[in-house]
Structure 1
Amino acid sequence: MGKFNRVLNPGLAILIPILDKIQYVQSLKETAVEVPSQSAITADNVTLEMDGVLYIKVIDPYKASYGVEDAEYAISQLAQTTMRSEIGQLTLDHCLRERQSLNNNITAVLNEAAKDWGIECLRYEIRDIHPPANVLEAMHRQVSAERSKRAEILDSEGHRQSAINIAEGAKESQILASEAEKQEQINNAAGEAEAILLRAKANAEGIRQIAKAIRETPGGRDAVALQVAEKYVDAFGKLAKESNTIVVPAGLNDMGSWMATGLSIYDKLASTTNSKRIEEVAEEAAKK
């Protein structure tokens, strides 16, 4: 008779003719409602064309029937206005980057308003975002510039690393070369020291043998005197080979006096230094 009586649950129901009439039939299944494309202006004054899909479910058939004239139309309009409001608080970059957060905010606002209509908004999905052509072209240029920038940075990093590797290689090469030169000098010094030591030992041994021969061999002193005289005469023979100006002693034509001078030198040395001292000197040289 035009007055609400009860909600019929699924299954068998008994109605009285003329008195009872089914006025509204509500589906309790989840329903997808398409939100038409609309314009929205972002916080940085960019106009976007956006559309979406709203997923709703009737949870109270009475409120869905008598709380609002057309629940789907009402929730669709509310979704559009809410989306414009949320878009107006974000910049273009945030709209593109935080789409999921935008969907969650719109869903929360719709549930707050639709609870009196017996409808629950399960989720809202932004389907397409269409920036203006000039903005889209600028975005493409920005992406291209960003990729070029990254490519140049990577290329410069490659050159930098290459230069560092070359410098490190040169450094290691110089270090190894200096180490090799150092080791070579050490080896040469050790070899030279060993050679000097061997020569000193040989000279000492020679001096020792000479002293022993002079001391123990009969006629050794006379042989040494003769050798000293020969060396003395040979030295005078080489005076004019080194320079054109020479100083010669008096009595150059007296060969006997030469020989006597050489022998006197030996006799003087022999008188001040005996053969035992010569042997001691040779032993000290051998120790050094």
Structure 2
Amino acid sequence: MFELTIAFLFIVFILYKLMLIVPMREVNVIERLGKFRTVLQPGFHFLVPFVDRVAYRHDTREEVLDVPPQSCISKDNTQLEVDGLVYLKVMDGKLASYGIEDYRRAAVNLAQTTMRSEIGKLTLSQTFSERDSLNESIVREIDKASDPWGIKVLRYEIKNITPSIHVIHTLEKQMEAERRKRAEITLANAEKAAMINMSEGERQEAINLSEGQKQKRINEAIGSGQEITIIAKAKSEGMDMICTALANEGGNDAMNMMLKEQFISQVGNILSESQVSVVPAEMAKLEGFFEGMEQVTHAVAKPSTATKGAR
């Protein structure tokens, strides 16, 4: 019974060494008597017991490795601490096993050195504004160097870029000064825009007033012209009617009567409003006659008086 148990266990052990199931996410590197034989892909495989063995197992999924913070010097001699993440994937199990001892540690160290080298080519402001191009440069350099290791660097992402405390204080002062400058520029632009708007408003107001005055004068001129035209037309029509009336029988007598009435009316107005005595021309002639007669009488009376005295 004991011998049967030993035999059963031995058969199970042989079968265990004979069969190999590779999971979907892995590749297995097989060595035969210490020498590389093949790379087994996911699935069921047979091995030669005590001759073949699984030397390495590699995960074929994308891996994320943390790159520790490190001190870097930028192009403008600013000290920075930079950390990141590197994403890679095993593409060749044989090279990943025999091309390098530990591809993960090598990828992290290579990412650190490459990152220091690339940051040294940029200024402090460029490290913040050109982060995408910096990541692409690091990926390109790491992927080129890691090609013999059988891995593929898919991308690199910088997590944090931390300047020193002194640099942070300097940047804060610079940003504050920049904000003040922008505020002053904004205020100046606002004042400029306000002055422009005010001047435009005054200009438009002056234009509107001048246009109004111009239109007023035009309207007054048109009105005066129309008034003169109407008056002239009325006078013309009146003259035509007068001429027509004078041409008829008795027209001259009617005209004389109307002129006399107007004369009497005007004389009455003058006599009522004037402070000077106004008489008709015939009466003025009579007044002159009597004054002449009085002067003649005085002239005749003076010689008579002289004669009496002589006597």
Give 1:156-167 correspondences, 5 Å limit: 156-167=188-199
CA separation of 1:66 and 1:192: change in aligned 2, threshold 3 A: closer
CA separation of 1:25 and 1:214: change in aligned 2, threshold 3 A: closer
CA separation of 1:203 and 1:44: change in aligned 2, threshold 3 A: same
* Structure 1 spans left out of the alignment, 5+ residues: 243-251, 259-288
1:193 aligned partner: 225
Aligned equivalents of 1:103, 1:221: Cα separation in 2: 118
- What SS is found at the alignment partner of 1:32? strand
Aligned equivalents of 2:75, 2:252: Cα separation in 1: 127
CA separation of 1:129 and 1:255: change in aligned 2, threshold 3 A: same
- How many pairs were matched up? 248
Deviation at 1:52, TM superposition (A): 1.1
Deviation at 1:214, TM superposition (A): 11
CA separation of 1:15 and 1:198: change in aligned 2, threshold 3 A: same
- Is 2:285 the counterpart of 1:254? yes
Match of 2:84 among 39, 52, 55: 52
Deviation at 1:13, TM superposition (A): 3.4
Give 1:72-151 correspondences, 5 Å limit: 72-151=104-183
Match of 1:16 among 46, 49, 54: 49
Greater relative contact order (Cα < 8 A, sep 6+): 1
Aligned equivalents of 1:21, 1:180: Cα separation in 2: 107
Q: Does the 8 Å contact 2:99/2:150 carry over to 1?
A: yes
- What SS is found at the alignment partner of 1:5? strand
Aligned equivalents of 1:218, 1:186: Cα separation in 2: 45
Q: Does the 8 Å contact 1:48/1:131 carry over to 2?
A: yes
Per the normalisation by structure 2, the TM-score is 0.66
CA separation of 1:15 and 1:218: change in aligned 2, threshold 3 A: closer
2:94 aligned partner: 62
Deviation at 1:94, TM superposition (A): 1.1
2:246 aligned partner: 212
Aligned equivalents of 2:252, 2:73: Cα separation in 1: 132
* Structure 2 spans left out of the alignment, 5+ residues: 1-32, 277-282, 290-311
CA root-mean-square deviation: 3.7
Aligned equivalents of 2:53, 2:195: Cα separation in 1: 90
CA separation of 1:125 and 1:203: change in aligned 2, threshold 3 A: closer
- Is 2:221 the counterpart of 1:180? no
CA separation of 1:122 and 1:215: change in aligned 2, threshold 3 A: same
User: CA offsets per residue over residues 148-185 of structure 1, 9 Å max, x none?
Assistant: 33333333322222222222222222222222222222
Aligned equivalents of 2:206, 2:146: Cα separation in 1: 80
CA separation of 1:39 and 1:112: change in aligned 2, threshold 3 A: same
Larger Rg: 2
Q: Does the 8 Å contact 2:91/2:150 carry over to 1?
A: yes
Q: Which has the larger displacement, 34-43 or 22-31?
A: 22-31
- The one-letter code matched in structure 2 to 1:16 is P
Aligned equivalents of 2:56, 2:256: Cα separation in 1: 156
**Seq. identity, %:** 38
Aligned equivalents of 2:259, 2:84: Cα separation in 1: 129
- The one-letter code matched in structure 1 to 2:246 is K
Aligned equivalents of 2:93, 2:263: Cα separation in 1: 148
- What SS is found at the alignment partner of 2:53? coil
- What SS is found at the alignment partner of 1:186? helix
Aligned equivalents of 1:40, 1:141: Cα separation in 2: 23
